[in-house]
Copies of this chain bind each other. A is one copy, B any other.
Amino acid sequence: MIKVAVIGYGNVAYHLIEHLADSPKINLAFIYSRTTKIDRELPPGCKLTASLEDIRDVDLAIIAVTDDAIAAVSCQLNVPLVVHTSGAVPMNALQNTTSKGVFYPLQSFSKVKPVRFSEIPICIESEHKSDRVLLKQLAAILGAQTYAITSEQRTYLHVAAVFANNFSNHMYAIAHEICNAHKVPFEVLQPLIQETAAKVAVLEPKKAQTGPAIRKDEKTLAKHLHLLDTNEQEIYRLLTKSIQNYGN
């Protein structure tokens, strides 16, 4: 039985609580929320608190608050192991005097959508090897796969995720805008979007590259530029150049 405190009640905390509360192998002893208001029933034996000093006698505290608040929260915790769940913050940003670690589930969370941890990779890091065992156990209880990722690697992973998630989503947003402006239902593109995303699970993205840029199909490239507004043109030109430099 692992005795846990969850610090925070944002999207990541919400789903962690959801899954930890349900597990017979976990004793979710504390939830910390500044407002002491949460929109769910407390699991039996769990205490809701707005005071970090209340949190005692647990195996670890999982900090799932905004990046900027992690340091300030951690220095008020007095538990054997403190981990945060952020992709962007190094482990040593934690200010607790006990053991430190990271438990970073790499997925985009929203409260309205249920989460299956079995489909979410968890990047773990710890000062001490024994803590890594505990974090792996915790992930296994959630049904998640773990990856040992250092703070430096996680920094790069976080910027890679901006490309893979935020920027690819912006490509969809531009496609959506173009469809809208010409009364084409965006759903027509959905299977292509899905297929493109699925393909890179089996094929290196560079090798999966198709289209006029990689073909150096100058006629189509010129035609496309002609159809776009200034912002879209700038993006089209830069990404075409970058695709051609990458090759495949």
Any chain B CB within 8 A of the CB of A34?
no
Is A156 a contact of B170 with CB atoms below 8 Å? no
Q: Which of A35-43, A53-61, A95-103, A174-182 contacts B (4 or more CB under 8 A)?
A: A174-182
Chain B residues whose C-beta falls within 8 Å of the C-beta of A206 in the assembled complex? 173, 176-177
Q: Could you tell me if B176 and A205 are in contact, using CB atoms closer than 8 angstroms? A: yes
A121–B188 alpha-carbon span in the complex (Å)? 6
Given A121-B191, A182-B152, also A235-B242 (CB < 8 A): yes
A: contact size bracket: 35 or more
Q: Mark A137-180, 1 if CB is under 8 A from B, else 0.
A: 00000000001010011011111111111111111111111110
Q: Is the CB of B190 within 8 A of A201?
A: yes
Q: Decide if A18 is an interface residue (CB 8 Å cutoff).
A: no
Q: Chain B residues near A88 (CB, 8 Å)?
A: 220, 223
Tell me which residues across on chain B come within 8 A of A179, comparing CB atoms.
156-157, 160
Whether a CB of chain B sits under 8 angstroms from the CB of A127 is no
CB pair A239 B170 closer than 8 Å? yes
Determine if A184 and B238 form an interchain contact, defined as CB atoms under 8 angstroms apart.
no
Give which listed residue, B121, B152, B172, B211, contacts A166 with CB less than 8 A. B211
Quick check: is A129 within 8 A (CB to CB) of the other chain?
Answer: no
Question: Which residue of chain B has the shortest Cβ distance to A243 in the bound complex?
Answer: B170
Whether A198 is near chain B, meaning CB under 8 Å from some CB there, is yes
Complex contact B192–A106 (CB within 8 A)? yes
What is the minimal beta-carbon distance from A192 to any residue of chain B, in angstroms? 5
A198–B172 Cα distance when bound, in Å, is 11
Q: What residues make up the interface of A, taking CB atoms closer than 8 Å to B?
A: 67, 88, 106-108, 119-121, 123, 147, 149, 152-153, 155-179, 181-201, 204-206, 208-214, 220, 223-224, 227-228, 231, 234-236, 238-239, 242-243, 245-246
CB pairs A–B below 8 angstroms (24 shown): A67-B220, A156-B182, A156-B227, A157-B178, A160-B174, A160-B184, A161-B175, A162-B224, A163-B171, A163-B172, A164-B175, A164-B192, A165-B192, A165-B210, A166-B210, A166-B213, A168-B172, A170-B205, A170-B213, A170-B246, A190-B200, A193-B200, A231-B242, A235-B242
